[in-house]
């Protein structure tokens, strides 16, 4: 069903069916600090990192598996 909380009553001949649906609890947040993930610039091979200036985790085209291996700062 598309709506999270609903009641559907159907009657076919002498049989009446009542179906109740309620939305269950939501899963945990992405982080305990409430930080978000900005993956709007992600590409194949992006590496997720924390950007303290914006307070977000990011995945972008600058930090990838290839840039870490081919000249990353360690």
In a domain, 45, yes or no: yes
Residue 45 contacts by C-beta under 8 Å, 6 or more apart in sequence?
64, 65, 66
pLDDT for 22-61, tens place per residue?
888 878 877 888 889 999 999 999 999 999 999 999 999 9
pLDDT at 70: 61
The predicted model gives 5-13 an average pLDDT of 75
Q: Inform me whether the pLDDT recorded for 67 exceeds 70.
A: yes
In a domain, 1, yes or no: no
pLDDT level of residue 1 (50, 70, 90 thresholds): very low
In a domain, 57, yes or no: yes
What domain range includes position 63?
33-74
pLDDT at 52: 92
């Amino acid at each position: 069903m598309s709506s999270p909380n609903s009641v559907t009553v159907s009657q076919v001949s002498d049989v009446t069916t009542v179906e109740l649906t309620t939305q269950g609890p939501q899963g945990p947040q992405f982080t305990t600090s409430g930080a978000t993930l900005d993956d709007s610039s992600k590409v194949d091979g992006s590496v997720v990192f924390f950007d303290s200036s914006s307070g977000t985790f990011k995945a972008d085209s600058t930090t990838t598996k290839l840039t870490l291996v081919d000249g990353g700062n360690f």
